[in-house]
Amino acid sequence: MVENILQARSAFPEFSLSRYHQLTIAVREHITMVSLAAWDGQSEKVQSVIQSIYGHSLPQRPVRVGGMEVSFLWFGPDRWMAVGERDGGRDLEENLKRHLHGLAAVVDHSDGRAVLRLSGARARDVLAKGLPLDLHPRVFKANDVAITHASHIGVLLWQVDDAPTYDIAVPRSYAHSFSDWLLDAAEVFSAI
Amino acid sequence: MGNSSYRSKTGGLIDRSQTIHFWFDGVRYPAHPGDTLASALLANGVRLAGRSFKYHRPRGILAAGSEEPNALVELRTGARREPNTKATVVEVFDGLEAFSQNRWPSLKFDVMSINSLLAPIFTAGFYYKTFMWPAALWEKLYEPAIRRAAGLGRASDDPDPDRYEKLTAFCDVLVIGGGPAGLMAAVTAARSGARVILADENFNLGGRAIDDASVIDDQPAAQWVCAIEAELDQHSDVRVMRRTSVFGTFDGGTYGALERVSDHLPSPPSGIPRQRMWRIVAKQTVLASGATERPIVFGNNDRTGVMLAGAVRTYINRYGVLPGRRAVVFVNNDYAASTARDLVRAGAAVVAIVDSRPGSTDAVRAVARDVGCPLLDGAVVIDALGSQRLKGAVVRNAAGSTETLSCDLIAMSGGWNPNIQLTTHLGGKPQWSEQLSTFTSGVLPPGMSVAGAASGEFSLKGAIVGGAKVGQVALTQCGYQPVDCAIPSAISESAAMSPLWRVDGGRGKAFVDQQNDVTTLDIELAEREGFRAVEHLKRYTTLGMATDQGRTSNVNALAIMAELTQKSIPQTGMTMARPPYTPVAIGAFAGHHRDKHFKPTRLPPSYAWAKSHGAVFVETGLWLRPSYFPRPGERDWLESVTREVKTVRNSVGICDVSTLGKIDVQGPDAAAFLDKIYMNAMASLAIGRCRYGCMLREDGILLDDGTVARLGQHHYFVTTTTANAGKVFQHLEFCRQWIWPHFDVQIISATEQWAQYAVAGPHSRALLRKIVDQPFDISDQEFPYMQVGEMTVCGGVQARLFRLSFSGERAYEISVPARYGEAFMAALLEAGEEFDACPYGTEALGVMRIEKGHISGAEINGTTTPTDVGLGAMMSRKKDFIGNVLGQRAGLLDPDRPTLVGFQPVDRGQRLRAGAHFLARGVKEIAENDDGYMTSVAYSPTLGHWIGLGLLKRGPQRIGEIVRAFDPLRGYDTLVEVVSPVFIDAKGERVRG
Amino acid sequence: MAREHFSIFSIMREAWRGHSGWTPTWRDAAPKPEYDVVIIGGGGHGLATAYYLARTFGITNVAVVEKGWIGGGNVGRNTTIVRSNYLLPGNIPFYELSMKLWEGLEQDINYNAMVSQRGVLNLYHSDSQRDAYVRRGNAMRLHGVDAELLDQAAVRRMVPFLNFDNARFPIHGGLLQRRGGTVRHDAVAWGYARAASLRGVDIIQNCEVTGFRRDSDRVIGVETSRGFIGAKQIGMAVAGNTSRVAAMAGLRLPIESHVLQAFVSESIKPFIDGVVTFGAGHFYISQSDKGGLVFGGDIDGYNSYAQRGNFPVVEDVCEGGMALMPRIGRIRLLRQWGGIMDMSMDGSPIIDRTPVAGLYLNAGWCYGGFKATPASGMCFAHLMARDEPHAVATAYRLNRFRTGHAIDEKGMGPQPNLH
Amino acid sequence: MRITCPYCGNRSLDEFLYHGDAEPQRPDATADNAMDAFVSYAFERTNPPGQHHELWYHEAGCHAWLVVTRHVSTHAISSVDIARDLAKARTPNTAGRA
Ligand SMILES: Cc1cc2nc3c(=O)[nH]c(=O)nc-3n(C[C@H](O)[C@H](O)[C@H](O)COP(=O)(O)OP(=O)(O)OC[C@H]3O[C@@H](n4cnc5c(N)ncnc54)[C@H](O)[C@@H]3O)c2cc1C
Ligand SMILES: NC(=O)c1ccc[n+]([C@@H]2O[C@H](COP(=O)([O-])OP(=O)(O)OC[C@H]3O[C@@H](n4cnc5c(N)ncnc54)[C@H](O)[C@@H]3O)[C@@H](O)[C@H]2O)c1
Ligand SMILES: Cc1cc2nc3c(=O)[nH]c(=O)nc-3n(C[C@H](O)[C@H](O)[C@H](O)COP(=O)(O)O)c2cc1C
Ligand SMILES: [Zn+2]
């Protein structure tokens, strides 16, 4: 790949990592996201393609499957979001496009969404200030996915582990407002 | 400093080890932590707390909780001033400042109390009958006078400085109320492992068990409560919320609750909100909200020193305060008679127990005997004496003779009303209970059950047993296994009662609604005038409409009305309760969403670049877009915009158009699908080509316009206007999922993915050639007008290039992944340096589209058809599409409809303004002659004068005619010439080549 | 029966004798077997119609039948705003007639409905919003209606405590109609009832219409919870219940029922003089003569016959309120309620005959029908008395959706929850 | 009010957008009475006070259109179906490709 001359800009230029008591908020800069939308009646074929390449069976309900490298989030009926951890990530999109040609719409979203990671015992307390979701550990567990909104901003959220750690993706143009709200909500934990 | 004079030596949950101070009307008083403002005032012998709404009667403290109608104060000062705050729920902190309200010049001496003398005139509804003559005086004289007298406290003059938070919580069982019933329900549910939220509006749990200093499990209630609280704290899935009022029941098991986080502090600590608004979603709810005591209505029953008996007990037992030294206890029930015991125990004298029931009861007799006071059975208090301070009670005994008992406190009780407001918010009607002579809950909201006094189970034992039982039902409903638990012991006290609503024969006014000064006479008047339905009674007299919502007055009032109309109480009915149960600060409902945070702000990819280059921004929907880029020396926006337009027309300019909605449409049926959506053909679009398209609503009106690019056989990429991006996406999903479910097509929003820039002007290609990587060829032959292609730029950045023109110049739109958007903007301008390229904003964009006669939001305004805006010919006749059939209705085809044309001032020096209406020359300026209106205007730098677009009746036939652009609102009347809406390059040659 | 002329003198006279001489404001009548006209619905519109039938057209053998208590519907639960600042020619003359009738109402009906013309100010926040208001203001002026355009400075002078300096959507100015204002809602129902009753109209409460009786194509009366009542002509003015009642006559209408909430705060010393509407949020506010802030916002947005709203709209409205007036943060909301509105497909009303002979329709008032009360009564009475539409109500035809003559002020199309 | 999206689960009202009555079906534009049918489709509503089948869009969630059966006088929801599934069952597959 040719080295390009354009500098990528973070969706969250203001901060990269904020540490609070029992809570950290970090920017997930290098995430690749590709949306898959199966065409009618092709859902099973899409499934088997993904199974054969990545070894994961695409979820039929709001959960995440896969590992650190590539995972697939349920993203609506017959829709998924492939999430890659590598920088650049064009190859994820290209791979999927190549393999799913004629089966699904594959659209790059890596730049459309800005991702934050919340981790620590206080994460649920902070999220309760905007997210109208029940994140109780008995109800929402590691690898569960939800599409909802917080503070008037659409979010895609998935739980990474039981720390708990959550990744939250918001539309890029809202990133600034979202972090405004989140940092405001978390402020109370800074002193403690 | 020692105890104040009305502070008892012992007792109460106050912290006597600390003395703090507060201010009331400028006077400094001592108090203890744990006091409310009301208890602290009483402890200091302050009885007069406020003035009533209409008559400005001196008022004291009637109650001890959130039902208080009288003791309303302004709390704090400056931006934190908080009017109409109930002294009975304010926790005292050191330095607290409170002021009486609705009085002038002082609380003790209030000029407006002459209203009291005018009371015979100020009856219910008096203003409906007067102030009508002469008509003109209403706004000038009468109403200003009424408004001067209106209102209680004063709002702060400044923005609320405090922070509010809004949260959502989920639970299995929500328990509302932390009295004995609620505590038992909560602990029972908690032991089974259920997720429990227990909310109590008070700062201490325990409810009336604390107020009454009851004994539970052979220990003082306070101790028992502590033990339960400690147990609840052990459960990780239990949240105990003190100072939290559950104020509303909403559909779907949703409850609104307000937590007063910092109101008991001088100001909220940093980062901490003043209050939290909770949306609680509960599977099951136990309402254990207790009951509110009913006053008895008698003459001058509003005197300071007339207090609810339960409140008297609360002040004694919770706060260690004596509300009076010589008390008359006036009751119609057994429970309240115990007040006499507490009074005596605390060191007061009980002058007499006056029991309205002939013969009274054993229970009351026992109390009288124990405290050693006379018991007057079959007797009533008919009048209270004294003006600003209670001096005595006039008692009429069973035989009908009266005597005056000297006293400084009348502790009265007319029985108890269960707090069932939250059961009725979803429409459930209260049921009258003959047995209890009060209303209990009727049909309950789904998932709710009621326990304790709220259910009409008034005994302590009953509350405990009922709470445990209801808790068990709730946890079982949620799928948990009940755990056996022992029921604490408690003594069952008697709740015997026989109704007494009002006492007649008093000389003074008898108040039913104390805050709104509604008397028995007002109710009688309402009855006489036909306002007999309870809701009419309420509206006519304002009874129950004050800040306490009639908690202490509604039942008495309707009982009196029932008596007057000789109907039963259930026939008379109960007024509707509404949220909130207790008033809630508006700021709390807003939370974070105020000031700049009212709505999120969307920033386009080049935002930071534009900001650092001096852009002036404009709100377009949620977006903040550069509207122009002023340069040093430019005098005003017009000069900057003019320069930007000229640069585009003569060289090249760059504009961030990323805010346009972008939708990826893919699938075997993508073409057929878009043919249904757009009024013009899209299936015939060749791969690699773009087309302008319009979509309609089903009623034939324009919905949106934009471009459609075909990237592959099964792959289209469409754009929408910025304003309609969300709406169009929703519309496409609707059509795909609901109207034509068999279309095999997927739509995916790509708005956020791409930073998209218009590169417009004669030098656009030359500029882009420096940006586009080898070997992509963007020559006119390879990349003609309306071409689209994928390529890389700047050494490998993926890009899409569209040869589209909104400006009418040779132009392109180019997109790169959003993260490169900012750098790409800089790269484009750097590449454009040799052409003197400039960035341009929405203003220049607007000018150029008007010069070209392109329609935009002002023309696609929800009432125009394609024909109206000159696009009728684009509509396909060969296919069905949304809007096709209804678009053929006669009214939409009427040739008289205003139709898009251009305008220029006859005197080219004149300015045009949008919103002006068109009139033919020489006709009268009346609506009949209204020929349409100007939709958009701009100063055209290209033509050197103002131009406009507008909708004019039969416009295209009137080209060349001179009409008036009439703008009386702003005082302009301009002669304009009707011209083609395309002002420059009518043939469209500049976009090609 | 009230015969007494209301005035300060009558009050003083009554005060003298302990107010013992007052009589019912309107007669609580029992149904007679037959009337010339039966109006269904004892709301503002039904009562006004009966009044004008009697006063203007001399038709007094009229009954108003109300299923509950009069004024218990939307007339008794609205935010009391009156104005005639409409945009479209189909609407302006009608609402202006209503304004004129308001202006003379109290003397006309001898009841003080507290018509209070303290102005209605619609704020704008962008050039395009301003242009839309200019177009509207000019349309009003062409119809002889008062309208003024205020710039930011003028708005600041008038309502200095709005959020001018830290707003998400800065205030650029406003469109002001000084003659707009508020009217005491309940008094409108009671005043019309009294005036109609004095002219012989029967006001029948607790009488629910449960069906229509027909003779071939024509309605000849209504079945009610209090028995059959015959009528030569029947007028429906049942607002939120329109579809329900019309269905009894076999009609399917361009109407949906939606809930709109309203809010009142605790009573505080007046500081908001007129009505302010916040163009960038869903919020409008005024302060009552008692001191309560009366405010509202958007409809809840789904079909409903339950007179109550849901939580998200409460939040939405209060967010708008705080964004506009940050000083109201510590003022407390006292009460929140809902009303069921007859939302039409273009947001404008219908006053017309129905396909059923003898049955007339007055509906489609959305959240704006309170201000229309007098004109609606006048025009509906005119339609029934003369069997032709009143000159200012000619556009309010039932078949306008078929002919393509929708009167769509907001340009939202047939999507009632967006009007 | 809360709606249980068959995909996303039980969610608050404010995640959804309302469209209205789900009974009217878009008529055949080529039929003889197309204009009448479209007028009725676009403008006339039964608007009953009881059970109502209505279209909601899970806007802040999965973007599915749903058909919710709700009692409009009590707001009680008795069922939530996926609009596309109902629509497919309702109409034979003629609209799509041959
Ligand atoms: C919250 C809210 C705020 C509003 N704010 C404003 C505003 O600021 N300005 C404005 O202009 N408009 C406003 N409106 C709209 C306005 O209130 C209504 O459009 C108007 O009141 C409707 O006319 P009405 O008074 O005749 O209706 P209603 O008062 O509703 O009268 C209809 C009557 O018909 C009765 N009825 C129904 N069915 C039957 C039956 N089968 N038999 C017998 N009787 C029956 C009902 O009980 C009711 O009393 C608002 C509405 C609401 C709900
Ligand atoms: N014997 C009688 O006649 C009689 C009559 C009335 C009360 N009582 C006594 O009342 C008690 C009944 O116990 P209980 O638990 O049913 O009631 P309670 O009054 O002891 O407790 C109710 C609690 O609910 C809280 N509350 C009320 N509404 C609320 C809301 N909306 N949000 C949050 N908190 C709210 C109150 O602050 C209070 O602490 C017993 O002690 C009983 O002896 C007896
Ligand atoms: C303009 C206006 C002012 C109101 N002011 C008050 C008020 O000061 N106190 C109050 O309790 N209710 C007030 N209300 C609300 C009524 O109590 C009542 O809630 C409303 O009329 C709807 O009736 P409902 O709640 O009985 O259904 C007001 C209503 C309106 C329309
Ligand atoms: Zn969903």
Residue B864 lies in a domain: no
What burial letters (b/e) apply to B208-242, b meaning 16+ CB within 10 Å? bbbbbbbbbeeeebbebbeebbeebeebebbbbbb
Strands C209-215 and C292-303: unpaired
Task: Kindly list the residues from chain C whose CB atom is less than 8 angstroms away from the CB atom of residue D60.
Answer: none
Same domain assignment for residues B50 and B152: yes
Q: Hey, are the CB atoms on C310 and D13 less than 8 Å from each other?
A: yes
Phi, psi of B258 (to 5 degrees): -115, 120
Query: Could you say which of B593, B795, B818 has the minimum Cβ distance to residue A3?
Result: B795
Residue B313 lies in a domain: yes
Among B109, B140, B158, identify where a domain stops. B158
pLDDT tier, A88 (very low <50, low <70, confident <90, very high otherwise): low
Residue D55 lies in a domain: yes
Cα separation, C48 vs C54, whole angstroms: 10
C146 C-alpha to ligand 1 centroid (Å):
27
Residue D20 lies in a domain: yes
Residue D98 lies in a domain: no
What pLDDT shows up at residue D94?
Answer: 58
Q: Does residue B395 have a pLDDT over 90?
A: yes
Residue D97 lies in a domain: no
End-to-end Cα distance, chain B? 95
> What CATH number has the domain bearing residue B315?
3.50.50.60
> What CATH number has the domain bearing residue B813?
3.30.1360.120
Q: Is the CB of C136 under 6 A from ligand 3?
A: no
Same domain assignment for residues B647 and B792: yes
Min Cα separation B237/chain A (Å): 9
**Six-digit token string for A125:** 């307390």
Cα separation, D42 vs A92, whole angstroms: 45
The Cβ-side half-sphere exposure at A153, using a 13 Å CA radius, reads 31
> What CATH number has the domain bearing residue B715?
3.30.70.1400
Q: Hey, are the CB atoms on D13 and B252 less than 8 Å from each other?
A: yes
Task: Kindly list the residues from chain B whose CB atom is less than 8 angstroms away from the CB atom of residue A43.
Answer: none
Return the SS3 of B364: helix
The answer to whether the CB of C114 falls within 8 A of the CB of C195 is no
Return the SS3 of B365: helix
Lowest mean pLDDT among A173-177, B4-8, B465-469, C348-352: B4-8
Same domain assignment for residues B148 and B5: yes
Return the SS3 of C115: coil
The mean pLDDT of chain C is: 96
Same domain assignment for residues B684 and B764: no
Task: Report the neighbours of D using a cutoff of 3 or more CB pairs below 8 angstroms.
Answer: A, B, C
B177 C-alpha to ligand 2 centroid (Å):
7
Residues 37-96 of D with CB under 8 A from A: 60-64, 82, 84
Residue B870 lies in a domain: no
The answer to whether the CB of A126 falls within 8 A of the CB of A189 is yes
What pLDDT shows up at residue C333?
Answer: 98
Same domain assignment for residues B672 and B741: yes
Residue recorded with tokens 């403690």:
A192
Residue D13 lies in a domain: yes
Instruction: Give the model confidence (pLDDT) of A4-42 as tens digits.
Output: 689 999 999 877 788 898 999 999 988 999 999 999 989
Residues 370-429 of B with CB under 8 A from D: 426-427
pLDDT tier, D98 (very low <50, low <70, confident <90, very high otherwise): very low
Percentage of chain B with pLDDT > 90?
92
What pLDDT shows up at residue B561?
Answer: 97
pLDDT tier, D97 (very low <50, low <70, confident <90, very high otherwise): very low
What pLDDT shows up at residue C1?
Answer: 44
Same domain assignment for residues B60 and B208: no
Tell which of D1, D5, D11, D93 to mutate to test the A interface (max A CBs under 10 Å). Answer: D11
B206 C-alpha to ligand 2 centroid (Å):
8
CA dist list (Å): B351 to B61, B327, C374: 21, 6, 61
Query: Could you say which of B250, B740, B884 has the minimum Cβ distance to residue D95?
Result: B740
Q: Is the CB of C287 under 6 A from ligand 3?
A: no
pLDDT tier, B1 (very low <50, low <70, confident <90, very high otherwise): very low
Residue D53 lies in a domain: yes
| Structural domain count, chain D | 1
Same domain assignment for residues B677 and B814: no
Q: Which chain C residue has its CA at the smallest distance from B926's CA? A: C142
Looking at the CA of B66, name the nearest ligand.
2
Task: Tell whether C116 is within 8 A of chain B (Cβ).
Answer: yes
The answer, yes or no, to whether ipTM is higher than 0.90 is yes
Atom of ligand 3 nearest to the CA of B549: 11
Q: If 0-12 CB within 10 Å is exposed, 13-18 middle and 19+ buried, where does residue A143 land?
A: middle
Task: Kindly list the residues from chain B whose CB atom is less than 8 angstroms away from the CB atom of residue D87.
Answer: 737-739, 741
> What CATH number has the domain bearing residue D24?
3.30.2270.10
What pLDDT shows up at residue D96?
Answer: 46
Q: Does residue B764 have a pLDDT over 90?
A: yes
Q: Is the CB of C335 under 6 A from ligand 3?
A: yes
Atom of ligand 2 nearest to the CA of B182: 15
The mean pLDDT of chain B is: 96
Residue B141 lies in a domain: yes
Same domain assignment for residues B301 and B265: no
Q: Does residue D95 have a pLDDT over 60?
A: no
Q: If 0-12 CB within 10 Å is exposed, 13-18 middle and 19+ buried, where does residue B455 land?
A: buried
Task: Kindly list the residues from chain A whose CB atom is less than 8 angstroms away from the CB atom of residue B748.
Answer: 35, 37, 105, 107
C-alpha torsion B420→B425→B427→B433, nearest 10: 10
Task: Tell whether D9 is within 8 A of chain A (Cβ).
Answer: yes
> What CATH number has the domain bearing residue B513?
1.10.10.1100
Domain residues for the domain of D75 are: 2-90
Task: Tell whether A109 is within 8 A of chain B (Cβ).
Answer: yes
Instruction: Give the model confidence (pLDDT) of B529-570 as tens digits.
Output: 999 999 999 999 999 999 999 999 999 999 999 999 999 999
Among B716, B749, B782, identify where a domain stops. B749
What pLDDT shows up at residue B855?
Answer: 96
> What CATH number has the domain bearing residue B908?
2.40.30.110
What pLDDT shows up at residue C3?
Answer: 61
Task: Please tell me which residue, B107 or A158, carries the higher pLDDT value.
Answer: A158
Instruction: Give the model confidence (pLDDT) of C173-202 as tens digits.
Output: 999 999 999 999 999 999 999 999 999 999
Task: Please tell me which residue, B993 or B694, carries the higher pLDDT value.
Answer: B694
What pLDDT shows up at residue B4?
Answer: 53
Same domain assignment for residues B716 and B771: no
Q: Is the CB of C308 under 6 A from ligand 3?
A: no
Return the SS3 of B740: coil
What pLDDT shows up at residue B121?
Answer: 82
**Six-digit token string for B511:** 């108040």
| Structural domain count, chain B | 7
Same domain assignment for residues B237 and B332: no
Among B826, B848, B870, identify where a domain stops. B848
> What CATH number has the domain bearing residue B108?
3.10.20.440
Task: Kindly list the residues from chain B whose CB atom is less than 8 angstroms away from the CB atom of residue A7.
Answer: 820, 822-823
**Greatest pairwise CA separation for chain B in angstroms:** 115
CA dist list (Å): A37 to A76, A102, B126, B710: 9, 11, 69, 19
Lowest mean pLDDT among B127-136, B724-733, C87-96: B127-136
Looking at the CA of B733, name the nearest ligand.
4
Domains and CATH numbers, chain A: 17-29+112-189 (3.30.1360.120), 32-108 (3.30.70.1520)
Cα separation, B957 vs B953, whole angstroms: 9
Min Cα separation A143/chain D (Å): 14
Task: Tell whether D33 is within 8 A of chain C (Cβ).
Answer: no
Query: Which residues make Cβ contacts (< 8 Å) with residue B491, sequence separation at least 6?
Result: B214, B215, B460, B461
Atom of ligand 2 nearest to the CA of B497: 3
Domain residues for the domain of B466 are: 164-291+418-477
Residue D17 lies in a domain: yes
Q: Does residue B683 have a pLDDT over 50?
A: yes
Residue B742 lies in a domain: yes
DSSP B148-159: HH--SB---SS-
Same domain assignment for residues B452 and B392: no
Helix and strand numbers, DSSP H then E, in chain B: 25, 50
Q: Which chain D residue has its CA at the smallest distance from C404's CA? A: D39
Q: Does residue A89 have a pLDDT over 70?
A: no
Q: Does residue C374 have a pLDDT over 70?
A: yes
Task: Report the neighbours of B using a cutoff of 3 or more CB pairs below 8 angstroms.
Answer: A, C, D
What pLDDT shows up at residue B38?
Answer: 98
| pLDDT (mean) for B9-36 | 96
Q: If 0-12 CB within 10 Å is exposed, 13-18 middle and 19+ buried, where does residue C416 land?
A: buried
Residue recorded with tokens 């930007």:
B644
Most informative mutation of B513, B545, B575 for ligand 3 (most atoms within 8 A of CB): B545
Whether omega before D24 lies within 30 degrees of 0, making that bond cis, reads: no
Most informative mutation of B36, B67, B208 for ligand 2 (most atoms within 8 A of CB): B208
Cα separation, A119 vs C288, whole angstroms: 50
- Residue whose CA is closest, atom 22 of ligand 3? C77
Residue D58 lies in a domain: yes
Q: Is the CB of B576 under 6 A from ligand 3?
A: yes
Instruction: Give the model confidence (pLDDT) of D11-49 as tens digits.
Output: 999 999 999 999 999 999 999 999 999 999 999 999 999
Same domain assignment for residues B465 and B570: no
Q: Does residue B276 have a pLDDT over 80?
A: yes
Residue B596 lies in a domain: no
The mean pLDDT of chain A is: 92
Q: Hey, are the CB atoms on B891 and C400 less than 8 Å from each other?
A: yes
Tell which of D47, D51, D67 to mutate to test the C interface (max C CBs under 10 Å). Answer: D47
